[in-house]
Every structure is written in structure tokens, then in C-alpha cells.
Copies of this chain bind each other. A is one copy, B any other.
Amino acid sequence: MKLGDEPDYPAILAEIQAQVRPYVGQGAVADYIPELAKAPLDRWGLAVATLDGRVYTAGEAEEAFSIQSISKLFSLTLALQLVGPTLWERVGREPSGDPFNSLVQLEHEAGVPRNPFINAGALVVTDVIRSHVPDAAQAVLDLIHRAAGDEAARFDGAVAQSERETGHRNRAVAHFMKSFGRLRNDVDEVLDAYFHHCSISMSCADLARASLFLANRGRSPYTDEQLLPAEWTKYVNALMLTCGTYDAAGDFAFRVGLPTKSGVGGGLLAVMPQGFAACAWSPGLDRVGNSIAGAKALELLAQATGLSIF
């Protein structure tokens, strides 16, 4: 189909709900953070926000979950608002070819992260924000509220605390970059802000709304605020496509054909430029760390709407 013909979303979502069922419950919940291990394996949800602001849903699309790395979309947007393209002097824009928390490439490349979506890169982004605002995590949350036009998103203190106590790999990454002089603020402060914005809790519907500006040349249909220039919005979408799902970016480009960002809470946020923002969620993860049922839902959505950037 061509852009412009509006798909019949209610029918499409009903059909997806039927087909995605067998995948719900597959995989394992993230257990490296104790608090995340409590996520309910049997849930799933899907929400599609279209440019006119309407939101179509299926499953538990109103149930809040931990957005984790999907928050990197908003911290990146905020950092671009604050420092513009000079951000790219501090973090690269290339796929890493390594797991999201690998230190190997970081060592070979003297502490400069490959892109803003691997953990190292997201920590640099948080460090950039921290240099401009006293409470970086709150600033990310504020941006989400402004983008969504509501205040549904909130911090989950238990998740942040759990990650603070057990996030040794992220601590290693942060101190490693500090040893190369790549973080300008106090390591513990940066980690704290990072753990906090990763702990934000939202539903599929909330996330679809808050991300819709990425499908709409940078403007939120809810508040009409231009959150990013159209050109930079394309950059964020391009990064999502090439780097948004870690080691599975190629696989997602194949199966889904849309820029997508994943989080270990089981969320997946996909953008069809000029089309929609869609959020699928289910806590069961595959080996790489992406939601199994969520990925299936997005694949079915792309097939049913015929929408793909390729």
C-alpha cells in the first residue's frame, strides 16, 4: 500500500492479537536487575499512535512497564536540544557489532562510544545533559511529559535502586570512560541519573504518544511543540534503524523494516516516518535481549499495513 491510504488499524490490531498469543510467555525476563525479574511474563500490549494523535491498542497496552533503554531515545533528543550536532564530537554514530555492554570496542577506540544507544554512549549523553541541568533524569522525564502531552510517565524508585546496587557492568563502563577522560561529571552522579531515567515506567500507549514526534518531523501532535528540527529527527530515526536493537539491528531491519528501539523491560518502540509510532511490549526476551512477542507484533504490524521504509 501507499502512504496516505490509512490502514484499518482496529482490524489489524485485532488480527495481531490473535496471532501473537503463542509467542507471549516465550523467552525469559531480564534477571540481571533483581527488580526487573519481577516483570509478568504472561503480559503483552501493542499501541499505535497515528499522526492525527489517535492511539489504537491491543492487549495490556495501558499497563506500565520499565522502559529501560527506550529512555535513550529521549535522553538523545534532550542532548540534541541542548548541544546540537556538537554531540557527535563525544559519541559516534556507527553500529557497534558487539553486545550493548561490551568493553572491547571501547578499549580499542580509546573510550569513545560507537553510538548513543549502547550503554557507554547513553552514559556520555547523560553526562552531556548533566553538564547543562542539575537533575538530568528529571529533565528526561520532563521531556517525555512534554512530548506526550500528559504526565503519565514516572520514575520507579525500586527499579532505580535495584540497578544502582547491582549495575556493576554499567559502573565498569562509566569508570572505564572516565579513565579515558570521556566523562566530565562525577561518575556516580552520571550513573545515578542514568539509572533513574532507565527506570521510567510507562505503558505502550504512553510510549507511542511520547514518541510520535519522531514520525512527525520532530513535532508533537499533542502539544504542537517542535521538539527537534526535522533534519535531526531523521538522524534519530536513522540511528534507531542501524543501532537501536543492539546485535539484532540487521535482523529487525529485515523482519520489521522500521527504525526500532528496544529495552530489556520488554518494550519495543518503532517509528514509520510520516506514518505512526508503535510500541509493543512483552517481558519475555530472546537471547539478544529483545522482546519475543513484541518483535512478532511489530513484524505482523509491518506486514499488515504494508508499511516499511524499504
Contacts and interface: CB of A to CB of B under 8 A. Distances in A.
A229 interface: no
A238 B257 contact: yes
Given A102-B107, A257-B238, A273 B168 contact: no
Given A3-B3, A176-B103, A242-B95, A310 B169 contact: no
Contacts of A251: 93-94
Contacts of A104: 103-104, 107-108
Contact of A242 (B92, B174, B253): B253
Contacts of A233: 310
Given A253-B238, A254-B238, A310-B238, A247 B94 contact: yes
Contacts of A93: 250-251, 253-254
Contacts of A34: none
Interface in A205-246: 233-235, 237-239, 241-243
Contacts of A96: 97
Contacts of A161: none
Contact of A94 (B169, B179, B250): B250
Given A168-B178, A242-B250, A250-B242, A103 B107 contact: yes
A105 interface: yes
Interface centre among A187, A233, A235 (most CB of B within 10 A): A235
Contacts of A239: 250, 253-254
A175 interface: yes
A308 B241 contact: no
Interface string A68-101: 0000000000000000000000001111111000
A309 interface: yes
A235 B249 contact: no
Contact of A310 (B103, B114, B172, B237): B237
Interface string A125-161: 0000000000000000000000000000000000000
A55 interface: no
A248 interface: yes
A3 B174 CA distance: 44
A171 interface: yes
A259 interface: yes
A306 to B, nearest CB: 10
A185 B289 CA distance: 29
Given A168-B187, A239-B254, 13 more contacts: A94-B251, A95-B95, A95-B97, A97-B97, A104-B107, A115-B250, A168-B175, A176-B176, A238-B310, A242-B250, A259-B310, A273-B308, A309-B309
